Amino acid sequence: MTTDHPFQIPLSVGLRDDARFENFYALGNELLCASLKAAAQGQGEQFIFIWGNAGVGCTHLLQAVCHEADPVGRTAAYLPLDELKHMGGGILEGMEFLDLICLDGIDAVAGDRRWEEALFHFFNRIREQGNTLIIAANAAPRHLGIQLPDLASRLSWGIVFQVQPLSDETKLKALQMRASARGLEFSDEVARYLLHHASRNMNDLTFLLDTLDQASLSAKRKVTIPFIKEVTGL
């Protein structure tokens, strides 16, 4: 949606360059990913709520939506509320004029009266403008502890998805896929070693991949189990 309303994003929150749909192993979450891609392009649902335990990929998906919106010329912003909570709900003022807003970690402000009121009014402004709002949390809307009844009802206005966690076997495939995207070759043996000796949280594994990628480039060595032990101490 275009508008003549003068607006400038008051803050800048960076996106991980590799947080894209191409790098998300979508097995079990195919409908969710299709719905988010459609929303990024201004199609489908106006409001989407996604939730899941830490490490299942909520943050990755919200950032992927913002990346997906850019090539089609849609303005988008990613706001991690756990990091921005201290700034107050006033940071949402004017955001409704963007085509797409992704609010991550709404559970961080649940129970905060001022934040809940700001979110309630933001929902109304977004709806009036006809723009898209995607929210992520660590629990379903009814389990967030929202105190403002009108906000609690708005969180379920659109479609609600639980992000399905990966099994160990699919985590192995996801790890190899993300390694391949960096130009790293991960054998099944190497990937299983990481899964058994490092955190099984995909966010943690992604940061570990970054470390191994940089170390591999610097040392001009392949990523093997001895190399992993040498670099990480695992």
pLDDT score for 167 = 84
pLDDT score for 2 = 40
Q: Into how many domains does the chain fold?
A: 2
Q: How far apart are the first and last CA of the chain?
A: 50
| Assigned domain for 6 exists | no
Check whether residue 113 and residue 35 sit in a common domain. yes
Check whether residue 28 and residue 131 sit in a common domain. yes
Neighbours of 183 (CB within 10 A): 9
The range of the structural domain enclosing residue 134 comes to: 21-162
Residue with tokens 């988008």: 76
Under DSSP, the state recorded for 165 is P
| pLDDT (mean) for 183-191 | 86
Residue with tokens 């934040």: 115
| Assigned domain for 153 exists | yes
The pLDDT > 70 percentage for the chain reads 95
Tell me the CATH number at 46.
3.40.50.300
Check whether residue 102 and residue 132 sit in a common domain. yes
Measured CA to CA, the distance from residue 163 to residue 177 in angstroms comes to 19
Residue with tokens 């899964």: 195
Q: Per residue in 11-66, pLDDT tens?
A: 557 888 889 999 898 989 999 999 999 999 999 899 999 999 988 999 999 999 99
Check whether residue 29 and residue 132 sit in a common domain. yes
Query: In residues, how long is the chain?
Result: 234
Helix (H) or strand (E) holding 223: none
Check whether residue 68 and residue 150 sit in a common domain. yes
Under DSSP, the state recorded for 138 is S
Instruction: Give ∠ CA 193-195-198 in degrees, rounded to 5.
Output: 90
Cα Rg for the chain, rounded, in angstroms? Answer: 19
Instruction: Give ∠ CA 4-88-108 in degrees, rounded to 5.
Output: 115
Residue ending a domain, among 139, 162, 185, is 162
Beta strands, E only, the chain: 47-51, 76-80, 100-104, 132-137, 159-162
pLDDT score for 5 = 40
Check whether residue 120 and residue 188 sit in a common domain. no
Check whether residue 136 and residue 176 sit in a common domain. no
Residue ending a domain, among 162, 187, 220, is 162
Q: Are 151 and 119 in contact (CB under 8 A)?
A: yes
| Assigned domain for 152 exists | yes
| Torsion, CA 63, CA 134, CA 147, CA 82, rounded to 10 | 10
Beta bridge partners of 161: 50
Q: What's the count of helices (H) and strands (E) in the chain, helices before strands?
A: 9, 5
Q: Are 144 and 129 in contact (CB under 8 A)?
A: no
Check whether residue 79 and residue 182 sit in a common domain. no
- This prediction has a pTM of 0.82
